Amino acid sequence: MKLSFATFLLSVAAQVPVAQGEDAFAEPLHAIHEDEEIHFAEQGCVDLAGSGWSKLPKLDDQPQETNTGIVFDWFGTSYLDDSTAAISAYNAAPSTDESKSYIFINDNGNLSFGGGLGFNRPTGFAIDGGTLESQWNMIAPFWSDVDISGGKVDGNVYFKTVLDENGQGSKFVVTWKEVAKFGGDAAEPKVNSFQVVLSDFRSADPKICFCYCQMEWATTSEDSFLVKDNDFEPATVGINPANGITDINNGSVGLNKFLLGTFSTDTKDFGGYGSLNNGVKYLHGKGFCFDPEIVFQEKPTPTVVTSGACGDPHFKTWKNEHFEYHGQCDLVLTKDDKFADGLGLDVHIRTKLVRFWSYIKNAVIRIGDDVLEIEGSAMEGIDKEVHYWINYEYQGELTEFAGFPVTISSEGTKSNKNYITIDLNSKYPGQKIVLSTFKEFVKVDFKGATAAAFGNTVGMLGDYKTGKTVARDGATVLDNYSELGHEWQVLPSDGKYFREASEPQFPKKCIDPEDPQGERRRRLAESTISMEQAESACAGLKDALDRKDCVYDILATQDMDMAGAF
């Protein structure tokens, strides 16, 4: 059975320092990924954007019972096929309808089937008895003392049933988004974002998927990344199929368990599958999908696929969240009126739609009174010039920009890679803004970004301080990235810095691709480059995310040279 995983896209507010480049790259927005949630679900995890999500009430340690809308028969036929009384005991709602599976969503990072589990202290999965909660069928993507009742972090638990093309339940999804630990009232509370996906038992490829985006805490210990204090046990990750139970109050406990991992009691290590001397961040960006049949094996082994920090990068926020936007228009990448003691910073990008994908065609940056624009070239092998305009003069003298030193360089490949680097070191040590081109594609990098330089920025890259992709009002969080793109379309009040206008200009709205999913599927079906060829071209890249993105770009553009963009 083929097991697969695809990263779900979440807005996460990381609270750990970020000292890497944040970029908006001109690659073709990874057209293979569909925007439809059902397609994401078929590959593993589910995008939180879109409609149909319900939200758990903001009460601490209070489970909620719901109908999943799918047939979930992975803990033995007795669960669905037993008598009405037994079903009542398991489901808390009498039913003999085998097409309905009732489940309890517990805010403390787990699902239970024997009843609601408000118990906030993870005990681990008992093998031969133990506590009552260990006797229930449980699925625990991250069982720990989660607190969604309020405080300094407004985390939530969302759930929905994803329908197939026939309108029938296909997946049941629960997402813990930006949830804090109980007692996590530090100045900058840590947050976790993770998800569990249950497939309909009758589907062609049923599986259970655990998906992890930003992972910053393991227990209620206030000590950064430590996993145990004097009062609480470390988080538990796995599945407890108490498959011998017929009565939750007087039943036997099944001997099988699927313990994906837990955190050690005296160190910060995660003793999970494939880990070694890693804390909670080992889970960051990973997904675990497994055939439900292996849950009943003596020593089950999941299929593990490492994602690249929660998604396909077209834009990468200040907090390392990746997302894509397929529209065509001028966008505010980032802005800060107070940058560099009031000089101010504006970075705008111009995206161009090509069939079902788009790319960044131009980028312009303003600091103080200086304006610099860069553009790529599609004249492969002929045009190796660096196409830029400094204060609207084509290829004018460019040794400094707003008082910061500038260097221009090239990387000699078949399709030249050109760079313009603005060195901010005199004001912000170790930090740079890099504009680069590969063929007609433009890239913007912020190297070594810190709060001192970019702490007040807003725009497509998100709010630096919170990591959230917010609207212009500074409060509304936009997890639908199409809405985010329209929200940050360049307005007259943002200033007009490109040397010439290009359609659409406000008040005309950004141009979205027509039927991008159907067009992508048709185009990819007609592909003349195989997946194997694309993977071979990208094999030399060290980073797994870069390799994945490279493969997508080659297949979308039908251009093997796209591997050179990484």
Helix (H, G, I), strand (E, B) or coil at 159: strand
Q: Name the burial class of residue 298, with classes exposed (0-12), middle (13-18) and buried (19+) by CB atoms within 10 angstroms of its CB.
A: exposed
**CA nearest to 435, candidates 417, 412, 448:** 417
Residue 467: what pLDDT? Answer: 79
Per the CB < 8 A criterion, the answer to whether 365 and 548 are in contact is no
SS3 string, 346-408, reads: EEEEEEEEECCEEEEEEEEEEECCEEEEEECCCCCCCCCCCEEEECCEECCCCCEECCEEEEE
pLDDT of residue 7: 20
pLDDT value of residue 91? 29
Comparing CA positions, the residue from 162, 168, 305, 297 lying closest to residue 243 is: 297
Residue 127 CA to residue 244 CA, distance in Å, equals 12
On whether the CB atoms of residues 432 and 448 are closer than 8 A, the answer is yes
pLDDT of residue 58: 63
With a CB cutoff of 8 Å and minimum separation 6, the contacts of 149 are 58, 59, 60
441-447 and 432-438 as β-strands: parallel, antiparallel, unpaired?
antiparallel
- The DSSP 8-state label assigned to residue 270 in this structure reads B
What does the pLDDT read at residue 212?
80
| Gap between the Cα atoms of 192 and 186, Å rounded | 15
b/e 434-469 (16+ beta carbons within 10 angstroms → b): bbbbbbbbbbbbbbbbbeebbeebbbbbbbbbbbbb
Q: Name the 3-class secondary structure at 68.
A: coil
Which candidate, 61, 15, 318, 59, places its Cα nearest to that of 185? 15
Alpha carbon 118 to its chain's center: 28
Q: How far is CA 48 from CA 141, 157, 335, in A?
A: 17, 11, 26
Largest CA distance in the chain: 83
pLDDT in tens, the chain (566 residues): 222 212 222 222 222 222 223 322 222 222 222 222 222 223 356 666 566 778 777 655 555 555 555 555 444 432 222 212 222 222 223 333 333 356 778 888 888 766 666 666 665 554 334 444 445 667 888 888 787 776 667 788 888 887 776 766 677 888 888 888 776 655 667 788 888 888 776 666 667 788 887 777 776 544 433 333 344 566 778 776 654 333 333 333 344 455 666 665 554 455 554 444 456 766 766 677 766 555 444 444 444 332 222 323 367 788 767 677 878 999 999 999 999 999 999 999 998 887 667 788 899 999 999 999 999 876 655 567 889 999 999 999 999 999 999 999 987 655 678 899 999 999 998 889 999 888 888 888 888 888 889 989 999 988 888 878 899 998 898 888 889 999 999 999 999 999 999 999 999 999 987 654 444 444 555 567 777 788 888 888 776 656 766 777 777 777 777 777 66
- pTM of the prediction? 0.47
Burial of 546 (0-12, 13-18, 19+ CB in 10 A): middle
Please enumerate in sequence order all residues whose Cβ is within 8 A of that of 313, keeping only pairs 6 or more positions apart, or say none. Answer: 23, 25, 27, 30, 322, 323, 324, 545, 549
Structure confidence at residue 30 (pLDDT)? 24
**Could you report how far apart the first and last alpha carbons of the chain are, in Å?**
33
Eight-class DSSP state of 133: G
- As beta bridge partners, residue 146 has 181
- C-beta atoms surrounding 245 within 10 Å: 25
Other beta carbons less than 10 A from residue 547's beta carbon: 20
Query: 3-class secondary structure for 322-338?
Result: EECCCCECEEEEEEECC
Predicted pLDDT at 213: 74
